[in-house]
Structure 1
Amino acid sequence: MRVGYIGLGAMGGALARHLVGKFPLSVFDLNQTAVEAFVALGATRAVTPAELARNNDVILLCLPRSSDDQAVLFGPNGVAEGLSAGKIVVDQTSGVPSETRGFARQLEEMDVSLFDAPVSGAMATAIAGTISIIASGPDAAFRKALPVLQAISPNVFHCGERVGNGQTMKTVNNMMNVSCRLATLEVVAMGRKVGLSLEAMTDAINATTARNYTSQGMLPAIAEGRQSTKFWLALQVKDIHQAIGLAAEQKVPMPIGGAARSILQIGLNSLGKDAQLEQMIGVIESMAGTKFVDAPKPAGSQEVK
């Protein structure tokens, strides 16, 4: 089975590396430095998405948003120009489910199957090959491409034959994750302002029913002065905006999710388009007028009693 991968950014690059040496692999990305790194590992460079699609049986996409999928699939020299009957497209983009279903319908007219398979997990799990892959789409296409997905990670889940269900599940996870993250940070900021230490709160929270992914991962990282996550804040805002949009389509009120989106947007407006999600720690500190960790005392200083 010949495999092509389009989108070698931080996440896509980490996922695609697991395919090197396991399948004949072709890659495409606008960032030629990223492409060169894969060529050095033994992958083949594709000049256009159409060429990549023409030379491979399974084509995976991992792009920032659905509009990028649209351009790469159906734009000039796009994937669709190189497809033929029986080929499979796997969309790993955290996209809009309804738009992905539209892509699938267009490709179905060419006797090409598309299913979505976004991932959920930290960058460390992508690198380690243990990230969760949440797929949905035609069972026959999923089973045919399953060895490719399992080469990326053994943790593959199929959420039904309706294209877009995987992206919907990813949207649910994104909203839950970011809402818990911001709620945890804001109440810990309150505790810090009252005088509790971050270490004491982290230990206590993680021994109670309030423990969560943020309390178990981000809070210890803050205390130790290390980075806990590597993700663009603009992409997090995009993901949550998609979740709010999906809720609006279904007439589901999202007051908590809406508040989370607003806080993230404040951070993005303040920090700029190149900000990392990690920098929201400083935004929460600023809003609360406190610091999660006390500044180190200058060398030689003495405490006044």
Structure 2
Amino acid sequence: MRIGYIGLGAMGGALARHLIGKFPLSVFDLNQKAVDSFVGLGATAAATPAELARNSDVVLLCLPRSSDVKAVIFGQDGLAAGLSAEKIVVDQTSGVPAETREFACQLEKVGVALFDAPVSGAMATAIAGTISIIASGPHAAYEKALPVLRSISPNVFHCGERVGNGQTMKTVNNMMNVSCRLATLEVVAMGRKFGLPLEIMTEAINATTARNYTSTGMLPAIAAGRQSTKFWLALQVKDIHQAITLAAEQKVPMPIGGTARSILQIGLNSLGKDAELEQMIGVIESMADTRFVEPPTNAEHGEPK
């Protein structure tokens, strides 16, 4: 089975690396440096998405947003120009379910199956090959592509035959994760204002029912001076805005989610378009006028280093 992968950014690149040596692999990305690194590992570079489609049986995409997916599939020299009946497209983008279903309907007319399979997990799990893959779409196409997905990670889940269900589930996960992250940082900032050491709060929280992904991962990293996550803040804002839009379509109020989005937007407006999600730690510190960890001091002079 010949595989094509488009989108070799931080996440897509980590996922695609698991395919090297397991399948004949063609790659495409606007970042030539990223393409060259894969060629050095044994992959073949495609000049256009259309060329990649012609040389692949299964094509996977991992792009920033659904508008990028549309351009790659239906734009000039796009995948559609090189796809033929029986081929499969797997969209791993955290995209808009309704738009993904429309892409699938258009490709179905020429005998090509498209299903979504976004991923959920930290970058470390993508690199380790243990990230969760949440797929949905036609069962026959899913079964045919399953060996490819399982070569990326054994943790593959099928959320039904309706294209977009996987992206909807990813959206639910994103909203839960962000809301919990910001709530945890907010209350820990309060504890710091009372003088509680971060390490003691982290240990106590993780021994109670308040324990969560942020308290077990991000708080220890902050205490140790390590980066806890690597993700663009603008993409996080996009994901949460998308979640709230989907909720509005179903007339589901999202007061907590709306607040989380506003806090993230404050951070993005303050920090700039190239900010990373990790920098929200500083935003929360600034809002509370505190520090999660005191800066190191020069013991001799009692001054910050």
What TM-score does the superposition give when structure 2 sets the normalisation length? 0.98
- Summarize the alignment of residues 82-161 of structure 1 with structure 2, pairs less than 5 Å apart: 82-161=82-161
1:298 is displaced (CA, Å) by 1.7
The aligned residue for residue 240 of structure 2 is 240
Q: CA separation in 1, counterparts of 2:123 and 2:79?
A: 27
Matched residue type, 1:156: V
Residues 302 and 10 of structure 1: CA distance in aligned 2, closer, same or farther (over 3 Å): closer
- Summarize the alignment of residues 11-90 of structure 1 with structure 2, pairs less than 5 Å apart: 11-90=11-90
1:296 is displaced (CA, Å) by 1.6
1:302 is displaced (CA, Å) by 6.2
Matched residue type, 2:136: S
SS of residue in 2 equivalent to 1:114: strand
The aligned residue for residue 6 of structure 1 is 6
1:294 is displaced (CA, Å) by 1.2
SS of residue in 2 equivalent to 1:90: strand
SS of residue in 2 equivalent to 1:84: coil
1:21 is displaced (CA, Å) by 0.4
The aligned residue for residue 284 of structure 1 is 284
- Unaligned stretches of 5+ residues in structure 2: none
Q: CA separation in 1, counterparts of 2:152 and 2:256?
A: 34
| Residue 166 (str. 1) matches residue 166 (str. 2) | yes
Matched residue type, 1:296: P
Q: CA separation in 2, counterparts of 1:202 and 1:236?
A: 25
- Unaligned stretches of 5+ residues in structure 1: none
Q: CA separation in 2, counterparts of 1:55 and 1:295?
A: 54
The RMSD of aligned alpha carbons is 0.9
Deviations 1:53-72 (A, max 9, x none): 01110000000000000000
SS of residue in 1 equivalent to 2:4: strand
Q: Which runs of 4+ in 1 moved over 3 A?
A: none
SS of residue in 2 equivalent to 1:137: coil
Matched residue type, 2:166: G
What TM-score does the superposition give when structure 1 sets the normalisation length? 0.98
- Summarize the alignment of residues 189-268 of structure 1 with structure 2, pairs less than 5 Å apart: 189-268=189-268
SS of residue in 2 equivalent to 1:257: helix
Identity of aligned residues (%): 84
Residues 139 and 195 of structure 1: CA distance in aligned 2, closer, same or farther (over 3 Å): same
Matched residue type, 2:163: V
SS of residue in 2 equivalent to 1:157: strand
Q: CA separation in 1, counterparts of 2:106 and 2:302?
A: 71
Q: CA separation in 1, counterparts of 2:198 and 2:40?
A: 45
Matched residue type, 1:108: E
The aligned residue for residue 175 of structure 1 is 175
Q: CA separation in 2, counterparts of 1:69 and 1:82?
A: 15
Residues 196 and 25 of structure 1: CA distance in aligned 2, closer, same or farther (over 3 Å): same
Q: CA separation in 2, counterparts of 1:172 and 1:77?
A: 34
The aligned residue for residue 293 of structure 2 is 293
SS of residue in 2 equivalent to 1:95: coil
1:299 is displaced (CA, Å) by 2.7
SS of residue in 2 equivalent to 1:59: strand
